[in-house]
Amino acid sequence: MIRQLIRVKGLVFMVSAFVIGAPSLIAGQQDVPAYTVNGKAFTVGDAEKKDQSSFFELEKRKFDRIEEMAREEFLNQFWGEMSKSKKLSLEKTKENYLKERTKVSDKEINDLLEKLKDHPQLSKLPKEEQKKQVREYLSTRESQRVLDDIVMEGIKTGKLLVVYPKPHEPVFQLNIAENEPVRYGPKATDTKPMGCKGDACPITIIEYSEYQCPFCAKMLEDTTKVLEAYKGKIRWYVRDFPLEQIHNRAHPAAVAAKCAHFQGKFWEMYYSLFENQRELGDADISKRAEKLKLDMKKFNACSAVADKAKGDQQSKKAEDMIRANFESGRKYGVEGTPAFFINGRKLSGALPFADFKRVIDEELANHKNN
């Protein structure tokens, strides 16, 4: 289905990445000269190999825009032909067509109002204004569905065909260390394999995140939905990618999470830190540790909270893990947080459940076929 993807990213790092098993992204351009250094010529293919992740993103944006333009042109011609046959203006033709096919019932409006009754903004509005906004939303959604149906019919009949080559998606090989925090279900306590053959789950997700990132917090609801929907088939790891240039408390929070991990409470601390991202000071972190009933002597020695971490072995281990997490993210082309790798396939930004479902279902189908 042709659609536009809108992604929100954090701070961008210009990094290189190592990719295995990925064919060239730019068909027919590998041998095109790119630049010379001290007389030695480098091709587009040489440049691509050094940073395949970035080249893929560039080519994908180009492909998505071409796909979007194809859709727009097809719809323009669709309305144009219909307006001639109806002997109406383009605007009136489109208005009539959509109006006939986008009827919104009172039941649909009331059902959605019930679901959104606790919505922080909508609930403050007068009842009539709530109904008006919900009706407009449902009408817009139905109009989009009708437009998608028109486009899909064009694809089925061969009237719409995007011939520009779709870029090959790179697949990364990320190694898992023994001591990395992992869970297998939606609960913080789901830290033991369930449904998989030992630890060999068909789906492995590695999340690069940081505790001051608002988009990471926004993702919690959808990541929980993913873990619930695919429980028994999935294992989920979290790696630190603190953006210290813009978030000065991301690193201390990451250390606190690692120190809680050493006491078997990583996921509890993970959720606690995200609950209130504005309160990540030393005292705030200590309160969280106390609430989780951690051994505070060990926690303070491990973390930087009480400035007692110097020389502590667990503190050094926590710092080493965070550094390794960050370096691995840069190695694999992470450009901000959150970033996710589903069996090595990269997704960036605060994406909806549907985007995860698409990739996971494809991977499960591949697993079943193999």
Q: Is the per-residue pLDDT at 321 higher than 50? A: yes
Q: What is the mean pLDDT of residues 352-370?
A: 90
Buried b (16+ CB within 10 A) or exposed e, 297-318: eebbbbbbbeeebeebebbebb
pLDDT digits (tens, 9 = 90+) for 27-72: 567 889 999 999 999 999 898 888 888 888 889 899 999 999 999 9
Report pTM: 0.69
Closest CA relative to residue 320, chosen from 261, 272, 265, 268: 261
* Other CB atoms within 10 A of residue 201 CB: 22
Q: How many residues are there in the chain?
A: 370
On the CB side of 367, CA atoms within 13 Å amount to 16
What DSSP assignment string belongs to 283-330? HHHHHHHHHTT--HHHHHHHSTTTT--TT-HHHHHHHHHHHHHHHHHH
Q: What is the mean pLDDT of residues 351-355?
A: 91
Sketch out the chain's domains with CATH numbers: 22-169 (no CATH), 182-369 (3.40.30.10)
Rounded to the nearest angstrom, the gap between the alpha carbon of residue 110 and the centroid of all alpha carbons in its chain is: 32
Q: Is the per-residue pLDDT at 243 higher than 60? A: yes
Rounded to the nearest angstrom, the gap between the alpha carbon of residue 229 and the centroid of all alpha carbons in its chain is: 17
| Six token digits for residue 34 | 């790119």
Q: Helix (H, G, I), strand (E, B), or coil: what is residue 20?
A: strand
